[in-house]
Amino acid sequence: MIATLTGAAAAALAVPALVAPANAAPASTAPAGAQAAPADPVSALRKQFRPGRGVKLTEQAKLIGEGRTQRVIFGRRGGVLEFGRKGVTASDLTSTFSLPGANKELVEEFKDMFAPSRTITVKGVSYTSSAFYAGAMPEGKKWLRTPAQPVSPGNPAQQLVNPLEPATLKAALAHTTSRRPGGTWDGARTVVHSGTITLGELYRVSPTVRGLLGAEPSAKSAPLRVSWQLYIGPDQLVRRAVSSWTQSMRGLTSVDLTYLNDSRYTGWGVKSAIKAPPAAQVAEFEELDLEGKAEDPFTRIIETAG
């Protein structure tokens, strides 16, 4: 099911489209620890890559219907991302999914998907505890072990401009078209840098995008433009990243969709020591009894919402 959902998200990027502007209302965040101000955001990010340290993430993803009249909250997730010497090496994130306005029958049918799920990723392996799998787990098991993925399975509204990847951050900032005051985030006064970057360029520089797509984008989809906003504090660290892109989903649903991701980064340098769950509580995928769970829920939900 994880592979199916990720495949559905990647397939959605095959169609070229125009990009809609990314807008999201500011919200207050907790103060961050003071940092010395490096010369640029990429240098500042690299200085954060210390084992046992990390940053807190709060993220929401939206699917916005054609004409911007049909708004759907697709998912939220939050937790801690832990750094090694080259970037993020571990994470502990809790995700929730909601579909405002959905009929009660749909919510009841997929109630397990609407329940919070937690995924711990460490040493190249992910462990997920989810109500969706609870009834299929062997007795005494509560975590499903799978290979780690650079993207969130089943969520097509990924943060395509991942500001925790130095090459991605550098490439995006090279396309900056405007700067303006960005308000206070995580206790820091920010400047919001805005611009656009193509899907093809993101594929070349970003492990996140390569993991999402699985293969190089076609000649038609590579020029798809992703709009982005990066809110950068005086210490040159990113406090908020917003990205959006629009494409046709016709054939799967009756409308074009805009995907909007809004990620907040707080507590830079927070101590972190993420560990795998106890082995006795971990199940392998082949151990699951998945009878009755073969249908792709992503497709059903989008079809019904559209």
Compute the mean pLDDT over every residue in the chain, rounded to the nearest whole number: 79
> What digits encode the pLDDT tens for the residues 113-141?
677 889 999 998 999 998 877 778 888 89
Q: How many domains does the chain contain in total?
A: 1
> What digits encode the pLDDT tens for the residues 172-216?
999 999 999 999 999 999 999 999 999 999 999 999 899 888 889
The closest alpha carbon to 56, from 232, 258, 272, 260, belongs to: 272
Non-local (6+) Cβ contacts of 48 within 8 A are 55, 83, 237, 268, 269
Provide the whole-model pTM: 0.78
The answer to whether residues 89 and 72 touch, using CB atoms and an 8 Å cutoff, is no
pLDDT band of 18, cuts 50, 70, 90: very low
Rounded Cα distance between 128 and 214, Å, is 22
pLDDT of residue 306: 47
- Model confidence at 13: pLDDT above 80: no
pLDDT of residue 181: 97
Q: Which residue has the higher pLDDT, 250 or 225?
A: 225
The answer to whether residues 94 and 117 touch, using CB atoms and an 8 Å cutoff, is yes
The closest alpha carbon to 228, from 268, 181, 173, 191, belongs to: 173
pLDDT of residue 72: 66
CATH number, domain containing residue 210: 2.50.20.20
- The tokens for 254 are 């009756």
| Region 58-72 average pLDDT | 71
Residue with tokens 């990243």: 241
Rounded Cα distance between 193 and 150, Å, is 25
User: Domain residues for 74?
Assistant: 2-305
Q: Phi and psi dihedrals of 245, rounded to 5? A: -155, 155
- The tokens for 104 are 């009660």
Rounded Cα distance between 159 and 208, Å, is 8
Query: What percentage of the chain has pLDDT greater than the value 70?
Result: 69
Rounded Cα distance between 123 and 291, Å, is 30
